[in-house]
């Protein structure tokens, strides 16, 4: 007979104890998580850039009856709509039974990821090899990107208004591209550099060819041959790179990680690990009370700037247009709205525990992470969600048996970071950061846990249903 001691009983009542979600969840939940992540892994492979993620997401939504929103049309409860902002940011909407003016439920995630962008004049030849100059996009650790097979994705926009799409290096039989590095035998000087300077921005040059055009006269014959191939395949000339958006991303596929297959490894999980749950959650909803809105945004990794970033008026216009359609006021609607700003958090790494504060760090398999504030140096540049709103979200998670945890982004003054939360909060909306813990965030290959991803989906479904 095991009678609990008084202190054990009191502890159970008073302490906040954290527990591994894989011990809390039953087998049904764990296998649902496994199954859910099969779809997630496919989505990752089809959505290597924001343009591709937007396109794939719209296609999935159209299959579920979503149609383009037309200003001036009137819609009724249960109607499923989307607004495509330049093919890079998309809003998915299900009209609720309550008036929009009473507030909507927004889930926002971003679909851009760190990568190497081509410079406007990228192509050159050196030592009879052809290369591309790049300008990295987002916060990468530059030393991680050499000697990784890369694929080229994006578009050439031509003077006649046509757009030529490029995707090369994903299929097994397609060529890849690569940034090269020194051999260790000759790296004595380079090895004295600091890690952040180990590979410099202007050293992220991508090898793209070595075969010279067969003519013994003339110079730059390798470059000439590359342009000839590009002209045959895409109908472009060198000047067309100026109006192109071409992105080099890891050519690898998503996969399971671990003997127990409990984790997912892939490029681009920040933030498709939240975008996919947000999308699939709204696709699974029929007729919510409050209008449901999912925003999949571009440009988060470079500060949410530009007309496809969320530091623009895009969200304001989406909500205002929806309110107007019912003769309501957009500002009132925004003030009554609430939002999950869905983005990844840093999972505490067993090998690199230094920058984390254990009591307030996210752990893999401990569930979806709620983050009251992000920021750096004394909470600067963050949406600090109000206690009342955090309580509302906590209650929702517990009532739905969702496994969750709370975390900051690392130790005080260890660094820090931001999300789209503060831009949506600026509109008067109640916002909290929420997402999935990631290991090796922003690396060419990031790791997440399946249970956390599934709990992220369940949270978003519960929030918007
Ligand atoms: Mn992110
Ligand atoms: Mn990021």
For residue range 183-207, what is the model confidence (pLDDT) as tens digits?
A: 999 999 999 999 999 999 999 999 9
Rounded mean pLDDT, 6-18: 94
Distance between Cα 271 and ligand 2 center (Å): 7
Q: Is 357 exposed, middle or buried (0-12, 13-18, 19+ CB in 10 A)?
A: middle
Quote the pLDDT of residue 218.
Answer: 87
Ligand 1 centre to CA of 258 (Å) is: 24
* Ligand 1 centroid, distance to 431 Cα (angstroms): 16
Give me ligand 2 centre to Cα 300, in Å: 7
Sort strands 345-346 and 437-438 into parallel, antiparallel or unpaired. Answer: parallel
User: pTM higher than 0.75 for the full model?
Assistant: yes
What's the CA-to-centroid distance between 274 and ligand 2, angstroms? 12
Residue 233 CA: distances (Å) to CA of 129, 208, 421: 20, 15, 42
Q: How far is the CA of 102 from the centre of ligand 1 (A)?
A: 29
Expressed in angstroms and rounded, the spacing between residue 25 Cα and the centre of ligand 2 is 29
11 HSE (CA, 13 A, CB side) = 7
Output the CA 300–ligand 1 centroid distance in Å: 7
Res 3: pLDDT: 78
Angle at 82 between CA 79 and CA 85, to 5 degrees: 160
Pick the residue with more confidence: 375 or 439?
439
**CA separation (Å) from 14 to 7, 21, 44, 393?**
10, 20, 42, 21
Q: How far is the CA of 125 from the centre of ligand 1 (A)?
A: 36
Residue-wise pLDDT tens digits, 39-97: 999 999 999 999 999 999 999 999 999 999 999 999 999 999 999 999 999 999 999 99
Residue 54 C-alpha to ligand 2 middle, in angstroms?
Answer: 18
What is the distance in A from the centroid of ligand 1 to the CA of 44?
15
Cα dist from 315 to 107, 171, 181, 202, 312, whole Å: 11, 36, 43, 36, 8
Nearest ligand to residue 344 Cα: 1
Q: Which ligand is nearest to the CA of 420?
A: 1
> Where residue 122 falls among pLDDT bands split at 50, 70, 90?
very high
| Residue 408: predicted pLDDT | 93
- Number of continuous H segments (helices) and E segments (strands) in the chain: 11, 21
CA of 113 to the centre of ligand 2 (A): 7
pLDDT band of 2, cuts 50, 70, 90: low
Rounded-to-integer distance, Cα 8 and Cα 371, Å: 30
Give me the helices (H) in 289-374, please.
314-325, 330-335
Say whether pLDDT at 26 is over 80. yes
Contact 198, 106 (CB under 8 A): no
How much is the average pLDDT of 247-275? Answer: 98
Q: List the structure tokens of 72.
A: 């001036």
Q: Tell me whether residue 362 is exposed, middle or buried, using C-beta atoms within 10 angstroms of its C-beta: 0 to 12, 13 to 18, 19 or more.
A: buried
pLDDT tens, position by position, 290-318: 999 999 999 999 999 999 999 999 999 99
Exposed/middle/buried for 21, CB within 10 Å: 0-12, 13-18, 19+? buried
> What SS3 state is found at 338?
strand
Query: What are the residues whose beta carbons fall under 8 Å from the beta carbon of 76, sequence distance 6 or more?
Result: 95
Helix (H, G, I), strand (E, B) or coil at 150: strand
Q: How far apart are the first and last CA of the chain?
A: 45
Tokens (6 digits) for 244: 């192109």
Give the ligand with the smallest distance to the CA of 272: 1
Task: Read off the pLDDT of residues 392-437 as tens digits, 9 standing for 90 and up.
Answer: 999 999 999 999 999 999 999 999 888 999 999 999 999 999 999 9
CB neighbourhood size of 170 (10 A): 17
Least trusted range by pLDDT, from 168-177, 414-423, 442-451: 414-423
Cβ distance 109 to 271 under 8 Å?
yes
State the ligand closest to the CA atom of 440.
2
Sheet harboring 206-209: ordered strands across?
163-168, 150-157, 244-250, 115-126, 129-137, 206-209, 178-179
Calpha distance 66→60 (Å, rounded)? 9
Q: Alpha helix locations (H) across 348-449? A: 387-399, 421-425
Mean pLDDT of the residues in the chain? 97
Ligand lying nearest the CA atom of residue 111: 1
Are the CB atoms for 446 and 439 separated by under 8 Å? yes
- The pLDDT score that the predictor gives to residue 418 is 87
Tens of pLDDT, residues 321-338: 999 999 999 999 999 999
Question: How far does the centroid of ligand 2 lie from the alpha carbon of residue 103, in Å?
Answer: 29
Q: How many angstroms does the Cα of residue 270 sit away from the middle of ligand 2? A: 5
How far does the centroid of ligand 1 lie from the alpha carbon of residue 450, in Å? 18
CA angle 238/244/250 to nearest 5° reads 105
Please state, in angstroms and rounded to a whole number, the distance separating the CA atoms of residues 384 and 241.
42
Asked if residues 103 and 288 have their Cβ atoms less than 8 Å apart, the reply is no
Token digits for 188? 């004595």
Q: How confident is the model at residue 1 (pLDDT cuts 50, 70, 90)?
A: low
Which ligand is closest in space to the CA of residue 342?
1
Q: What are phi and psi of 228, to 5 degrees?
A: -60, -45
């Amino acid at each position: 007979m095991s009678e609990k001691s008084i202190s054990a009983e009191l502890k159970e009542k008073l302490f906040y104890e954290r527990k591994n979600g894989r011990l809390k969840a039953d087998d049904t939940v764990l296998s649902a998580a496994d199954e859910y992540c099969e779809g997630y892994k496919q989505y990752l492979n089809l959505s290597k850039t924001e343009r591709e993620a937007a396109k794939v997401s719209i296609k999935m939504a159209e299959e579920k009856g979503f149609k383009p929103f037309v200003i001036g049309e009137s819609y009724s409860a249960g109607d499923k709509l989307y607004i495509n902002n330049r093919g890079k940011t998309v809003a998915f909407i299900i009209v609720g039974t309550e008036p929009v003016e009473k507030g909507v439920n927004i889930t926002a995630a971003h679909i851009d990821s760190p990568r190497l962008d081509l410079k406007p004049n990228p192509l050159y030849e050196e030592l009879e090899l052809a290369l591309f100059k790049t300008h990295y996009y987002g916060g990468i650790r530059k030393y991680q990107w050499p000697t990784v097979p890369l694929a080229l994705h994006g578009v050439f926009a031509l003077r006649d208004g046509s757009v030529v799409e490029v995707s090369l290096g994903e299929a097994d039989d397609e060529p890849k591209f690569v940034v090269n590095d020194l051999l260790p035998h000759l790296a004595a000087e380079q090895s004295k550099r600091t890690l952040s300077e180990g590979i410099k921005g202007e050293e992220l040059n991508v090898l793209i060819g070595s075969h010279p055009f067969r003519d013994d006269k003339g110079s730059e014959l390798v470059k000439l041959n590359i342009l000839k191939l590009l002209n045959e395949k895409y109908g472009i000339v060198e000047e067309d790179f100026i109006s192109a958006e071409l992105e080099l991303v890891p050519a690898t596929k998503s996969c399971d990680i671990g003997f127990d297959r409990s984790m997912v490894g892939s490029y681009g999980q920040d933030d498709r690990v939240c975008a996919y749950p947000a999308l699939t959650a709204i696709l699974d909803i029929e007729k919510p009370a409050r209008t449901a809105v999912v925003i999949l945004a571009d440009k988060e990794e470079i500060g949410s700037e530009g007309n496809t970033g969320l530091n623009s008026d895009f969200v304001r216009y989406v909500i205002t247009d929806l309110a107007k359609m019912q003769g309501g006021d957009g500002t009132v609607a925004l003030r009554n709205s609430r939002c999950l700003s869905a983005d990844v958090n840093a999972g505490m790494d067993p090998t690199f525990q230094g920058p984390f504060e254990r009591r307030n760090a996210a752990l893999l398999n401990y569930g979806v992470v709620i983050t009251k504030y992000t920021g750096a140096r004394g909470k600067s540049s963050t949406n600090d969600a109000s206690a009342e709103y955090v309580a509302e979200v906590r209650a929702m998670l517990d009532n739905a048996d969702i496994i969750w945890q709370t975390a900051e982004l690392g130790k005080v003054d260890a660094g820090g970071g931001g999300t789209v939360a503060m831009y949506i909060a600026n509109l008067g909306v109640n916002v909290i950061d929420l997402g999935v813990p990631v290991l090796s965030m922003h690396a060419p290959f990031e790791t997440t846990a399946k249970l956390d991803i599934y709990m992220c989906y369940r949270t978003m479904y519960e929030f918007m249903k």
